[in-house]
Structure 1
């Protein structure tokens, strides 16, 4: 799906679709005239009008369209425009009838249900993101995680897709699909996440994302929650084929009867043409390549509720030249990933109910320098939620969830973290970890005038740690008129440490769950769907029981830390222009040991700046329609450089040298800046539409970098060259 996602990154979201009109030819016809406008009254060009699942017209520059329909007949009319919620109605054709449609903008907003927001959802502040918004974000490369990096509170310390939320590590975000845990949510995994997300936007119907202060429903996560929503039953058959510089892909979706539907997709990646066009300063052997396939179903069981299922298989391999400290060599990696999940929604008596089950299977082999390691990880998860009928001012919710993890990591690693040349020697790494986690929660939401309060708690049991935790949570919303509100949230959060800390050679035998305490206060003004909307939040987080290396016991739970900052989100929306701006300020300190940095540094007293602390960053995204079939978007991001630990000298070991490090993260790399531009052009193609697209990442070719490479004796250094200082991508997608 990667290639197809890259296509729609530019194509699907933009304001206008052009399609060949295919009018119905009735025996006795009536001429129907209509208009399509937004909620402010401005006309919307390029909207597609479908009558009984057949595309019959496209609105013009004034938002008008004309069709001929059989007199006296009834039709199902659907009007769609990317970036807007679809409009569906039943049209009874008679003389003088008009079809005037108003479309509402689809935007990031509070979590809502199909009907109205529940009391808990009105209190808890989440971001809601639709796939169309992922595609339309320049520089996101049609990736969910890169699009989320544009939100306030999410730092990007390098060009990877990892989510570092409000001073937290990338491992502190829980990712699920229909509440089934995706234990490995990235492709081409790295210590900072991975190159892109494992689930492409075409495979989901939307997502919700919390950057802190989330309710008692969620456990085993310290910083954030990302819940992806699976595809629903398709209403009509649809096929898509895509060809671009990096590969080809195809997808199909179709209903099967009145209640059942299926969908499937396949993608094949080949990067030879892409590198031939853009070049690369890095050697590849082999170049990035892989494939993935997915299938799913949605089944309406009538009174029995609704059942959805989804499966995903992925295979990747790559060999890429890397530089670290004074080491230069080839990193070779191969990955096999599979995921299957199912979700049921229905009722148990008068209670609304939902249940989910998932299994994530992951295997990866990595070789670089003296490091040679194989990781196998299997995670099975389950969840059950119940909501009481709303019969009073209080709504009760109760639920339980858990997981079982089986992890095996074996091979050889450097004695000193990051010493890929093996100057300090190597050692066997052997971790076999069987762990489980289970918990239950209870929460209630009440309204008193303009004040809405959700109070809850969860109790969790961590198997390997042999620990039980109790986490209270509180969320409060105070309405200040119709378009203003204050929000407050606080809570205690726990999460199990990574299995990599349990290496039999030098790891710990047991560690308690890590702990975080959140305080969040925010203000918002306006509506997310129109005009100007502003949201500002301040936060404070404290950490305890973090893993810290120790010579005798491997690791202890003596680590701790803190983070504080302010996040700002501003957007202005109209049918002619969209502008979105985000800004964040952050200060974070930690005393802990990341699992890949064992014995790398001499630990100082107290805390230090973690690798992912970016003190400030700002981003502006704008989208402008040039015509009813062409659109241009641009994104500009600027941020403080990431922290860096300098190497101040080299200590001779025979004919080689070990680095002598200065104070941990005492330097900061130069400021990061990047401008991305994208465009799409839509043209009729028989019964469907062809989408031509182009994107240029890092238009100005700025030489951003995230590390230094040193000479063998560490006497001098130079920046590590970015793998893609500027890149161009073009392609075409055919849809019908």
Structure 2
């Protein structure tokens, strides 16, 4: 399998040398300018463009409305411009600066009346992201039991089912593959790390590389496609404001990050690396699993930002990761040994340009190269996937309406080689079995376009709607998805939400390649019906949503081509979310009830799926217990997943319920750098409950093996220091 191209290495090396050379050149005296930007209603505004008039020095506000820039000291004073699409520009003049720092807080007046729903989004420029929830990196790190992982933190929110101990996002009756993961506007092909038959252990992207995270469990807008159930959208960090070094050390990981503001507010570079080795983690805590290779991983990241104009930026995000694992698979009789390793290269160039007060353009050019090898007995498969992406988007504010439209192109190349047993039901460990050799490839090109609008009618009723069109070029298969949402104000802080939308997802080329090639396997389809109540003020958020999803054209394991797309199903349920912040305590409660059934794949009839987890309850709290000390607590409860207990049944029984109490102690303090240092100690499954994750039966159902959590209680500790 090809390694990273030498030309890419040379390019990254040259960029680093030029950036470092620019930094070590002479520096002029600087004035630090910081502050916060609010709307006219007092809510923080993210993505506001703040810049020094007549220069390219500037920054965008973060998800909480904060900004900070460095300006050269001058006797003439300053004029700062605050610009945001949909709001009137505001200029602030400062004639004299008597210190090294300056604080400027402003409120912007809207060009059109605001139509934000009560839920918070990771940026205000995208009207499609109104119905989600957001997380900051600090919230991810301090959530007990999350292992400082984005995906595991998202699992504590409503609409996500706790299927096992893995990090997979099973959203409102959907499989883990039905949730799209996006980074800076580009899709991540494989977002999980330490992949095994039990799923991925964590996500690939560290929270320290992110400035914000947005998650939607349904009803998302037309900008997102090829996903039946949910969307996780992450934003990487912006240009560094000052030189900094971050060092991390944990029981199973080591990390380092270097930030270089090459030219203040014009050119910045961030480089980081992480190495993970779980050997000491499992040796310290003990494990019921037998590893032939303890999970090991490493990743490298380069984030380069160039501001070529006050309202224009280029951002290059490069990420490479690799992991390796060998583990024994529990089954009746002789055990199976699984060996897996993967590597991924992801490169994304993002462009953003504000054109006046009413118009903005964004674009992405991205490339992914993902390779994976897995070995189980006589099965030995080596796969490679290459994904090329192009995304262009424009947004315009006209009177009381915000219009956005875009075009997207995706080319997916899949290669598969190796060997599989001729009889897959036989014992794969038998070396005398006949094997079939594979060497195949598949190429798919998908085009998409969308147009949407949102605003307020009569100054009160919010609306959002649009159309998304997708087409597979090789088969000429097309999909048209209308989506609509309306928000009705009820009283102070309360809103009612109604959302209806259609969503399609095309099959991965690695699945039944020839059937896709022959236009026999069509895109899956789901229709979302959502209604809910929302409330939000400065310290509280409450949300109740009732939904129903209808699935059609699901794949069946049927030899008759006419029946391949005959699968169908539904999921329906209720999601409840409550969040409250006090002076020293913040907490959230999420509860989900769901009933989901499908006739798909090997299911003989309409039946519960393995991710039909009836009840999910998450209690999360974070409390300041002393100076700089915070205590986090998380309790999770989930109904056991269905399993098949006999030869003539299907998912007729359920596992025992899943329960876990996690604690997290964090100490935050600034020792040397401008950012807080973090010391943390976490204990997962404090009570040592033995959670059963699955039952594995022999083919005659006379013998049964139990799959349990890898550790009864996991203690983890580490620190992150900024220099």
Aligned mate of 1:499, from 480, 490, 509: 509
1:191-213 per-residue CA deviation (whole Å, 9 max, x = no partner) reads: 66511111111111112111111
Structure 1: state its 5+ residue gaps. Answer: 1-71, 76-87, 103-107, 594-600, 649-660
Rounded to whole Å, the distance in 2 between the matches of 1:537 and 1:191 is 33
Paired position in structure 1 for 2:375? 367
**How far is 1:690 from its partner?**
5.0
Paired position in structure 2 for 1:680? 666
CA contact (8 A) 1:216 1:443 kept: yes
1:525 aligns with 2:528: no
Paired position in structure 2 for 1:394? 401
Aligned mate of 2:261, from 255, 260, 265: 255
Rounded to whole Å, the distance in 2 between the matches of 1:554 and 1:368 is 33
TM-score between both structures, scaled by the size of structure 2: 0.80
Rounded to whole Å, the distance in 1 between the matches of 2:133 and 2:419 is 42
Aligned mate of 1:704, from 685, 691, 698: 691
Paired position in structure 1 for 2:352? 345
Paired position in structure 2 for 1:329? 336
Rounded to whole Å, the distance in 2 between the matches of 1:340 and 1:302 is 23
**How far is 1:276 from its partner?**
2.3
CA contact (8 A) 1:431 1:504 kept: no
Rounded to whole Å, the distance in 2 between the matches of 1:126 and 1:493 is 17
1:721 aligns with 2:669: no
CA contact (8 A) 2:329 2:338 kept: yes
1:689-712 per-residue CA deviation (whole Å, 9 max, x = no partner) reads: 654321110011110011124579
Rounded to whole Å, the distance in 2 between the matches of 1:725 and 1:373 is 33
CA contact (8 A) 1:508 1:554 kept: no
Change (3 A) 1:119 1:245: closer
Paired position in structure 2 for 1:213? 219
**How far is 1:555 from its partner?**
7.5
Rounded to whole Å, the distance in 2 between the matches of 1:505 and 1:394 is 44
Rounded to whole Å, the distance in 2 between the matches of 1:554 and 1:293 is 47
Rounded to whole Å, the distance in 2 between the matches of 1:91 and 1:633 is 46
3-state secondary structure, aligned to 1:549: coil
Rounded to whole Å, the distance in 1 between the matches of 2:518 and 2:98 is 78
Match runs of 1:578-597 below 5 Å: 578-593=586-601
Match runs of 1:111-510 below 5 Å: 111=121, 113=123, 117=124, 120=127, 124-190=130-196, 193-258=199-264, 259-303=266-310, 305-324=312-331, 326=333, 328-347=335-354, 351-388=359-396, 390-413=397-420, 421=428, 427-428=436-437, 431-449=440-458, 450-503=460-513, 510=520
Paired position in structure 1 for 2:23? none
**How far is 1:506 from its partner?**
12
Aligned mate of 2:655, from 669, 688, 695: 669
CA contact (8 A) 1:326 1:712 kept: no
**How far is 1:348 from its partner?**
5.5
Paired position in structure 2 for 1:620? 619
CA contact (8 A) 2:186 2:348 kept: yes
- 232-241 or 420-429, which moves further after superposition? 420-429
Rounded to whole Å, the distance in 2 between the matches of 1:344 and 1:476 is 31
Change (3 A) 1:425 1:716: same
Change (3 A) 1:707 1:365: same
CA contact (8 A) 2:509 2:516 kept: no
**How far is 1:459 from its partner?**
1.5
Rounded to whole Å, the distance in 2 between the matches of 1:91 and 1:582 is 51
Paired position in structure 2 for 1:547? 555
**How far is 1:419 from its partner?**
6.1
Rounded to whole Å, the distance in 2 between the matches of 1:492 and 1:506 is 22
Higher relative contact order (CA 8 A, sep 6+): 1
Rounded to whole Å, the distance in 1 between the matches of 2:302 and 2:267 is 14
CA contact (8 A) 2:128 2:223 kept: no
CA contact (8 A) 1:157 1:612 kept: yes
**How far is 1:422 from its partner?**
6.4
Paired position in structure 2 for 1:730? 717
CA contact (8 A) 1:237 1:254 kept: yes
1:55-97 per-residue CA deviation (whole Å, 9 max, x = no partner) reads: xxxxxxxxxxxxxxxxx9x99xxxxxxxxxxxx99998999xx
Rounded to whole Å, the distance in 2 between the matches of 1:550 and 1:710 is 24
CA contact (8 A) 2:695 2:706 kept: yes
Paired position in structure 2 for 1:82? none
Rounded to whole Å, the distance in 2 between the matches of 1:146 and 1:402 is 31
Count of aligned pairs between the two proteins: 618
Match runs of 1:99-118 below 5 Å: 109-111=119-121, 113=123, 117=124
Rounded to whole Å, the distance in 2 between the matches of 1:518 and 1:192 is 29
Change (3 A) 1:196 1:579: same
Structure 2: state its 5+ residue gaps. Answer: 1-74, 79-91, 107-117
